[in-house]
Amino acid sequence: MIKDLEIREATLEDLTEITSIFRDTVRAINSRDYSEKQIDVWSSGADDTEIWENRINDLYFIVAEFKNEIVGFAHITKGCNLDGLYVHKNYQRRTIGSKLLRIAESHIMAEGYEVINADSSITSVDFFDSHYFEQIKKQKKSYKGKGFAYSIFSKEL
């Protein structure tokens, strides 16, 4: 558990750290459950800086900071959909993801929604299970020509 963790809204100045966390986490953590080619394609999403800038500018996008270093982030789309939650590869299993999730859930409730939805990689199924989400279904989606298995989760707030 990390004490003195600060959660705040992301700014464009955070872009480099956010995309670095995304790339490094996908390569180090998600590589347990996906092929090398899938990881190469998935992690290359960090290079789409315009998409990341739009997320930061247009979505509810929060970062977790510890000792002036961003160690995780989360963002919400379409009111109640947790579109991304990533924790730095060196800070896994230290309650950062749980804290980001709680703040995201609070924001969603404050917006008047009673449900939170999330698309989950295979790697994060246990995380969502442990936070009382119900797995709605398993699916495959295509990203840059590669197929990815994932699950859709939902939770009443």
The mean pLDDT value for 98-102 works out to: 97
Q: What is the pLDDT of residues 56-81, one digit of tens each?
A: 999 999 999 999 999 999 999 988 99
Q: What is the pLDDT of residues 21-53, one digit of tens each?
A: 999 999 999 999 999 999 999 999 999 999 999
Supply the pTM of this predicted model: 0.93
Decide if pLDDT at 126 tops 90. yes
Residue 56's closest CA among 20, 9, 95, 93? 9
Decide if pLDDT at 112 tops 80. yes
Confidence of residue 2 (pLDDT cuts 50, 70, 90): confident
Distance CA 45, CA 70 (A): 19
**Within 10 Å of residue 135's Cβ, how many Cβ atoms?**
13
Please say whether the beta carbons of 117 and 154 come within 8 A.
Answer: yes
Distance CA 118, CA 73 (A): 15
Distance CA 124, CA 113 (A): 23
Decide if pLDDT at 144 tops 80. no
Question: Mean pLDDT for the chain?
Answer: 94
Superfamily of domain 6-156: Gcn5-related N-acetyltransferase (GNAT) (3.40.630.30)
The mean pLDDT value for 77-90 works out to: 94
Confidence of residue 114 (pLDDT cuts 50, 70, 90): very high
* C-alpha distances out from residue 44 to 20, 78, 132, 144, Å: 11, 24, 31, 10
- Judged by average pLDDT, the poorest of 102-106, 113-117, 141-145, 148-152 is 141-145
